[in-house]
Amino acid sequence: MGILEKMSLAGKKGFVTGAARGIGKCTAKAFAEAGADIAIVDLDLETSLQTAKEIAEATGRKVIALKCDVTSEAEVQAMVDAVVEQLGGLDFCHANAGICINAPADEMTYAQWKKNLDVNLNSVFLTDTIAGRYMLAHGGGSIINTASMSAHIVNVPQPQCAYNASKAGVIQLTRSLAIEWAKRGVRVNSISPGYIGTDLVLQSQTLIPLIEKWNAMAPMGRLGKPEELESICVYLAGDTSTFTTGSDFIIDGAFTCF
């Protein structure tokens, strides 16, 4: 069997949170292109349905859309149950949903802080543990979490202490779960993207003025593309990464190297 066959996700079932658009949409499409059936999970059901239709038509795989508030334990449990029922199992997941509220620490409200932590870290705990319980009981699986290069550096010039802290928490959660489940067949890894040129970033009136500053600091002089995160996620979801767990993969064009 060649390496391309070994990296196939044929027969596997998975879901991606925050998958209606951006990075999540891109990795969901990559999983389907590699042969997996996939669930598009997002709070925006209308866009999720369109994304699911696009990916299904492009890949021929079974792709469903599910609405879920990833900060709700009950909704995450219902979502995982629906994935298992509608796709016929669960082999991997990508906990990708997240937000960023930029505010100086001395002006940030506690409500803003808590919202950042709830969406970016608490939801990952819910997603990982609820999906993990199924995987632990059914022979194993792979969990991929979206952290950020912001877990490794303090971004400038935008003030985002809550985001940075939440993403650092994702990496430590990833490592902790990897250790707990290492002998039980469930692998847990994270990816830490740098500045990625999603539609949300490229169309944001708040962020557009910052792009020139980010690019001036970037060794490669540009933003990353969502598609440049695909291959590492397909690798982590599949069977060629069975000795890979507890790792964080920084994909940032060397931004954090200095």
Summarize pLDDT for 10-47 with one digit per residue, the tens: 999 999 999 999 999 999 999 999 999 999 999 999 99
Evaluate whether residue 86 is within a structural domain.
yes
Location of structure tokens 């292109």: 33
| pLDDT tens track for 195-229 | 999 887 887 777 888 998 999 999 999 999 999 99
Segment 241-246 shows an average pLDDT of: 98
**Is 256 a member of any domain?**
no
Q: Residue range 82-111: average pLDDT?
A: 96
CATH value at residue 216: 3.40.50.720
pLDDT one-digit tens code per residue, 190-203 = 999 999 998 878 87
Q: Does 80 reside within a domain?
A: yes
Domain assignment present for 30:
yes
Confidence of residue 3 (pLDDT cuts 50, 70, 90): confident
Q: How far apart are CA 90 and CA 144, in angstroms?
A: 13
- Structure confidence at residue 204 (pLDDT): 77
DSSP symbol at 149: G
Q: Is 255 inside any structural domain?
A: no
Tally of CB atoms within 10 A around 199 = 11
Per-residue confidence (pLDDT) for residue 208, from 0 to 100 = 84
For β-strands 37-42 and 13-17, DSSP reports them as: parallel
The residue type at 77: Q
Helical pair 45-59 and 22-33, crossing angle rounded to 10 deg: 30
74: tokens are 């009950």
Whole-angstrom Cα distance, residue 45 to residue 248? 30
- The per-residue pLDDT for 161 is 96
- Does residue 66 lie within any of the structural domains? yes
In our burial notation (b when 16+ CB lie closer than 10 A, e otherwise), range 107-139 reads ebeeeebebbbebbbbbbbbbbebbbebbbeee
Catalytic residues: 148, 163, 167
The gap from C-alpha 124 to its chain's centroid, in whole angstroms, comes to 9
Q: Does some domain include residue 19? A: yes
Residue 193 lies in a domain: yes
CA distance 89 to 141: 11
Distance, CA of 29 to CA of 54 (rounded, Å):
9
- Answer yes or no: are the C-beta atoms of 143 and 131 closer than 8 Å: yes
Give the count of domains, the chain. Answer: 1
* 71 band by pLDDT with thresholds 50, 70 and 90: very high
Neighbours of 171 (CB within 10 A): 19
Residue span of the structural domain in which 113 resides:
11-250
Residue 5: the pLDDT is 85
